[in-house]
Amino acid sequence: MSPRTIGIATQRQVRRERRGPAKAPWQLKVAVNIPGVNDLLGRVVGNGFRPEHIAGARCRAASNAVCLKKVAVGIGLVAASAMLAFHMFRSMKRRESLLEW
């Protein structure tokens, strides 16, 4: 008997025994309700237990995170500079208006 014949025979047997919709075992229902298990299962299915690595390659996620961090710092500096300039301009206007009196 070939492995294919055994597989077909097993599937036929399972179809004969099971009538109606399939039900998940209670262990699976409990495990899926634990926070983070779905993410872990997705990672294992997507990457496997031992994802492959190329020696000397830069991690793409790490380089994107560094770039994103630099952009965020730049936006923060521009916002802080704009706020500082606005407050200086506003205080200068107040001094001018006080001098006019």
Tens-digit pLDDT profile for residues 32-46: 788 888 888 787 787
Could you tell me the two tokens for 69?
């961090």
Question: Band of the pLDDT at 57, cuts 50, 70, 90?
Answer: low
Q: What is residue 59's predicted lDDT score, i.e. its pLDDT? A: 63
Is 12 inside any structural domain?
Answer: no
Confidence class for position 58, pLDDT limits 50, 70, 90 = low
Q: Which residue has the higher pLDDT, 93 or 11?
A: 11
Q: Is residue 3 part of a domain?
A: no
2 domain residue, yes or no = no
How far apart CA 22 and CA 24 sit, in angstroms, is 7
Q: Does 46 fall in a domain?
A: yes
The average confidence (pLDDT) of the chain is 77
Q: Is 29 inside any structural domain?
A: yes
DSSP secondary structure, the chain, as one string: --HHHHHHHHHHHHHHH--SS----HHHHHHHTSTTHHHHHHHHHHH-SS----TTPPPHHHHHHHHHHHHHHHHHHHHHHHHHHHHHHHHHHHHHHHHH-
Q: Give me Rg for the CA atoms of the chain.
A: 32
The pLDDT-based confidence of 29 (bands split at 50, 70, 90) is confident
Is 10 among the domain residues? no
- Structurally, how many domains does the chain consist of? 1
With respect to residue 69, please indicate whether it lies within any of the assigned structural domains: yes
Residue-range definition of the domain harbouring residue 66: 22-50+57-100
Going from the C-alpha of 40 to that of each of 35, 44, 47, 74, 85, the distances in angstroms are 10, 6, 10, 34, 48
Q: Is residue 62 part of a domain?
A: yes
